[in-house]
Structure 1
Amino acid sequence: MYAERASRLRGAVVWSRDLPGPGSGPGFGDESGGARGAVLPDGCMDLLWTEGRLLVAGPDTRPFVPDGVSGGWAGVRFFPGTAPAYLGVPANELRDRRVELTDLWPASDVRRLTARIDGAADPVDALEEVALLRAADAEPPDPLLREVVAALDAGRPVAGTADGLGLSARQLHRRSLAAFGYGPKTLARVLRLQRALALARDGVPFAETALRAGFADQAHLARDVRELAGATLGELVAHRQGVGLR
C-alpha cells in the first residue's frame, strides 16, 4: 500500500510503501505497460530509506527499473531543484542514479541516522526529521529555481525563461545542471511529460492532451512519451504507474 502526504519541509512530499514480495524496490511501482514497474522522470530527487539502508535517488531522464529487492520503503521527495542544497551534491552527479547515502555523507553519520530510523516507531516520520534537520543546517535553495520550474512548466520557451529571469542562456544551463541534473530543455520535456500524463489519466483524449500539454501534435507526444517513459501513452494510462518508489 502506498501513502503520501505533504512534508513539513516546504515543497517536499513524504511517502511510504510496503513491498512484501521480490521484484520491488527503489524505482519500482505498479505495472506501467512497456515501462513495467518503472518510475518515470519527474524532475524530483528523493531521500530513501529501507531497513538498514539510506539512499538518494537522482533525477531521471528515462524510466528507472533497478534490480528487485523486497521490504518496506519510505522517502522524502524534494521539489525540483531543491535537493542539491540539502544533500550537498550537484544534481548532475546523480543523474539517472541511485546511490548509498554513505557515498555522499560521512559513513559514521549515515550509520547513526539509519539506526535511528530503523528503531523508530514510525520510520516515515523519522526520515522526515532527518530531512528537516539537514535543511535547517543548509543554505536554502535559490528561489530563482522555483521561477525556472514555474516558467517551463507553464510552457514558456527556454530562451524566454532565461530573458525573463535576467540570465543568459549559458547561465541558465549551468544553474540547471547543478540544480535539476540536466539542462532547461530536458527539464521542460520532463515537465511536459508529466502534464501530458496527468491530462491523459484524467480522461482527456490524446489529441487534446498533446495540444494542452504543449506538444506540436499527437505524433510529437507519442515520440516523447516513448523516449522518456519507455512505453506508449495508452500503456501508461491503462497500467497506471505506481508512485512513491524511485
Structure 2
Amino acid sequence: MYRERETPLLPGAVLWDRGPAAAAAEQRVLPDGCTDLIWCDGLLVAGPDSRAHLSTTPPGTAFDAIRLPPGTGAAVLGVPAAELRDQRVPLAALWGDAAARALSERVAGAQDRGAVLADVARQRLAAASGAAPGAGPEAEPLRRVVLAHARNGKAVAETARAAGIGERQLHRRCLALFGYGAKQLAGILRLHRALDLVAAGVPAAEAAVRSGYADQPHFAREVRRLAGVPLSRLR
C-alpha cells in the first residue's frame, strides 16, 4: 500500500512509503519537478523527471522516502539539479561511500525512516552555502518567484522581469535549481493541475481550459508527451 504524509520538519516536502507487494509491479511516475531521496535497502536519489518514468518493483520490495519540493534538491544533495534530471543514482555517487553508508545505517535502524530523511534534508537545506550552483540561501527568492509564476502560467519574459534578471540567466539558474527551464517547469505543473481536475470529475475539455491549455487536443498532446500514454489509459 502506498501512502503520503506531510512533515513539519520541512514544509512543502512529502514523506511517502510503500509496503512490500506480493508480486512485481510496474508504476508510471509522472514528472512533478521534485527530487526524491528514497530508502530501499540503501539510499537512492530520483532526480527531477522531464517525462514519465517507468519503474518495475520486484516482489517484497518496500520503500520509505522524502519528496523534496521543487527547487530544493540541489541544496540538499549538493549538486545542480540538471545533473540529476531523469536519473536514478545511489546516494553514494553524490556524497561518497562513507557519508552514504552512515546515513543508510541511521535510516535502517530508525522507527520512522521518513522522519530521519526529513531531518537530514532540513539540516542540509539550512546549511547550504552555495557550493553547488543555485543551492545557496540567495537562491530561495528566485525559487519562490519562478514557482509562483510557473503555477500561474506566466510567460518566461514576465518571470525574468519579476526576478530582475535576463531570460538567459533565468534559464541557467532554473537548470541548477529545478533541473529544467521555467517554461518546462510550468508545463509540468500545468499538466498536474489539469489531471487533478480530471480526477475530481471535471470533464477533460473544461479541465484543459481551466488549466491554461488552448483546448482539449492541446491537453491531450501534452499528456502523451509528458506521460507517454493517452489520458484514457492514464486514468
TM-score by length of 2: 0.90
User: In structure 2, do the counterparts of structure 1 residues 73 and 6 end up closer, same or farther at CA, with 3 Å as the change threshold?
Assistant: same
Report what 1:107 is aligned to.
97
Taking the aligned partners of 2:90 and 2:23, their CA distance within structure 1 comes to 20
Report what 2:19 is aligned to.
18
Taking the aligned partners of 2:57 and 2:111, their CA distance within structure 1 comes to 26
Greater CA drift, 195-204 or 58-67 = 58-67
**Which amino acid in 2 is paired with 1:46?**
D
Deviation of 1:83 (Å): 1.1
Give runs of aligned pairs for residues 90-105 of structure 1, distance below 5 A. 90-105=80-95
SS in 1 for 2:29: coil
SS in 2 for 1:164: helix
Deviation of 1:123 (Å): 1.9
C-alpha root-mean-square deviation of aligned residues, in Å? 1.5
Report what 2:202 is aligned to.
204
CA contact (8 A) 2:72 2:125 kept: no
Structure 2 counterpart of 1:83, from 52, 73, 76: 73
1:4 aligns with 2:18: no
Greater CA drift, 84-93 or 155-164 = 155-164
Taking the aligned partners of 1:138 and 1:165, their CA distance within structure 2 comes to 21
Give runs of aligned pairs for residues 1-246 of structure 1, distance below 5 A. 1-7=1-7, 8-24=9-25, 37-51=27-41, 53-69=42-58, 70-139=60-129, 140=137, 141-237=139-235
Taking the aligned partners of 2:117 and 2:123, their CA distance within structure 1 comes to 10
Taking the aligned partners of 1:164 and 1:138, their CA distance within structure 2 comes to 24
Taking the aligned partners of 1:21 and 1:178, their CA distance within structure 2 comes to 39
Task: Give the gaps of 5 or more residues in structure 2.
Answer: 130-136
Greater CA drift, 198-207 or 140-149 = 140-149
Deviation of 1:180 (Å): 0.8
Deviation of 1:161 (Å): 1.3
**Which amino acid in 1 is paired with 2:168?**
R
- 1:84-103 deviations in Å (ceiling 9; x for gaps): 01110101101101100001
Deviation of 1:170 (Å): 0.4
Deviation of 1:209 (Å): 0.8
SS in 1 for 2:143: helix
Deviation of 1:204 (Å): 0.8
Task: Give the gaps of 5 or more residues in structure 1.
Answer: 29-36, 238-246
Deviation of 1:3 (Å): 2.0
Deviation of 1:200 (Å): 0.7
Deviation of 1:15 (Å): 1.3
Deviation of 1:134 (Å): 2.4
- 1:193-242 deviations in Å (ceiling 9; x for gaps): 111111111111111111011111111110010010011222222xxxxx
User: In structure 2, do the counterparts of structure 1 residues 184 and 136 end up closer, same or farther at CA, with 3 Å as the change threshold?
Assistant: closer
Aligned residues with identical type, % of pairs: 50
**Which amino acid in 2 is paired with 1:187?**
L
SS in 2 for 1:48: strand
Taking the aligned partners of 1:71 and 1:137, their CA distance within structure 2 comes to 33
Taking the aligned partners of 1:78 and 1:198, their CA distance within structure 2 comes to 20
SS in 2 for 1:85: helix
Deviation of 1:144 (Å): 1.6
**Which amino acid in 1 is paired with 2:5?**
R
TM-score by length of 1: 0.86
Taking the aligned partners of 2:167 and 2:122, their CA distance within structure 1 comes to 33
